[in-house]
Amino acid sequence: MQLNTSALAQVADYFKLLSEVSRLQVLCSLQHGAKNVSQIMAETGLGQANVSKHLKLLCQMGMVSRQPQGVSVYYQIADPLIFQLCELVSHNLAHQLKERSQQLDRLKLADHLS
């Protein structure tokens, strides 16, 4: 797949958005349904200004959508592929960690035998 510089910049921006732990907490909070800012704050332990800032960025990137309901605004996941991507990365990291652990065990064994 060949992407031009503009497309690559958009991909980089997408991953930059996912590189912040607090934003991932907000996304995980929304994984099982729509929530308002107060509910997200309660689940994540993040402050109101922080949650609002992250939701704004996530909405701008199209990962989250907002739905006004009365005096509240509810946020929900607009792009469920985010969780598949995170799961893929998590599985890959777990695999790498297992391989490194096995390499370390082999090195310890070789050091012990010599």
Dist. CA 75–CA 66, nearest whole Å: 4
Are β-strands 72-77 and 64-69 bridged in parallel, bridged antiparallel, or unpaired? antiparallel
3-state secondary structure of 31: coil
Q: Are 67 and 74 in contact (CB under 8 A)?
A: yes
Distance of CA 106 to the CA centre of its chain: 34
Output 63 or 106, whichever has higher pLDDT: 63
Please determine, for residue 84, whether its predicted confidence score (pLDDT) is greater than 80: yes
pLDDT band at 86 (very low <50, low <70, confident <90, very high): confident
- Model pTM score: 0.78
pLDDT band at 1 (very low <50, low <70, confident <90, very high): low
Type of residue found at 89: V
Listed in sequence order, the residues at least 6 apart from 67 whose beta carbon sits closer than 8 Å to its beta carbon are 34, 73, 74, 75, 76
